[in-house]
A and B are shown apart, each in its own frame.
Chain A
Amino acid sequence: MTPEELARAEDRLRNPAPGSRIEAAKKFGIDLTLLIGQLRLSPAERARQMHEVCRVAESVRGAARRRKP
């Protein structure tokens, strides 16, 4: 995305137009600020970020059941 396209997308997500799909998503419960954050990243950065999330998630999965009394 060009800087102009990104700015326009961010504006649409920050200020959803009445009746828009973005407004519907907000009402559905989507955190639009997360999408703004993702849009600022390149696909490669998104992949790296999620890869790290997955790695950490795997490392702590089931930790609650392993806690000491």
Chain B
Amino acid sequence: MNVEAAVQALVDAGVEFVIIGGWSAILNGSSYSTNDLDICFARKSENLRHLAQALAPFHPRLRDLPKGLPFVWDQATLRNGTVFTLDTDLGKIALLAEVAGLGTFEQITGGSVVTEAFDRHVRMLDLKSLIEAKRAAGTDKDLMVLPELESLLEAEEP
């Protein structure tokens, strides 16, 4: 997964997004690793256009789409869905319009911070929001990281 190139492409195209999931955990200090990039994106028309343009060079296709079925990657496709789990030339990227437990892009920006990473300024979930999201997602994989994230939160408390 070339997460650096993916993030840079998104930022450089002017996409409004928040890094969520595993990479958000890593940026917050988690020692777990991940093999995909999860982001929550704003559903404004202009942003969908930027998002479509940003990833188009990397040939995104839906991961669960049977081989041979046509898939059009454009603004209209993005408008018609809220969750896209993609294979791209850069690796696996999941695009979510809404995060369980937190809400839409507009709702989660308050629980996010801008940091410098991947040679860009990027927005990512803060620890508290990330913990809420993991708890709301509730899968074994999500719950497994909670003890570590809660330790980090407790260690950093004033």
B residues near A58, Cβ cutoff 8 Å = 1
| Interface size of B as a range | 20 to 34
Asked if B29 contacts A46 (CB within 8 A), the reply is yes
Asked if B35 contacts A54 (CB within 8 A), the reply is yes
Name which residue of chain B comes closest to A57, CB basis.
B33
Question: CB within 8 Å of A: which of B3-57?
Answer: 3-4, 23, 26-31, 33, 35
A43 touches which of B33, B117, B152, B155 (Cβ 8 Å) = B117
Asked if B147 contacts A35 (CB within 8 A), the reply is no
Q: A38-B31, A43-B27, A50-B33 are in contact. List 5 more A-B contacts (CB 8 A).
A: A22-B151, A37-B31, A38-B30, A57-B35, A58-B1
A-B interface pairs (CB < 8 A), number:
84
In the complex with contacts A1-B156, A47-B118, A54-B35, A25-B150 CB distance below 8 A: yes
In Å, the complex CA distance between A28 and B30 comes to: 15
Interface residues of B (CB under 8 A from A): 1, 3-4, 23, 26-31, 33, 35, 115-119, 124, 147-148, 150-156
A-side interface residues, number (CB < 8 Å): 33
In the complex with contacts A43-B116, A47-B117, A47-B118, A13-B27 CB distance below 8 A: no
Name which residue of chain A comes closest to B145, CB basis.
A30
Interface string of A21-32 (1 = CB under 8 A from B): 110110010111
Question: CB within 8 Å of B: which of A7-62?
Answer: 8-10, 12-13, 20-22, 24-25, 28, 30-32, 34-35, 37-39, 41-44, 46-47, 50-51, 53-54, 57-58
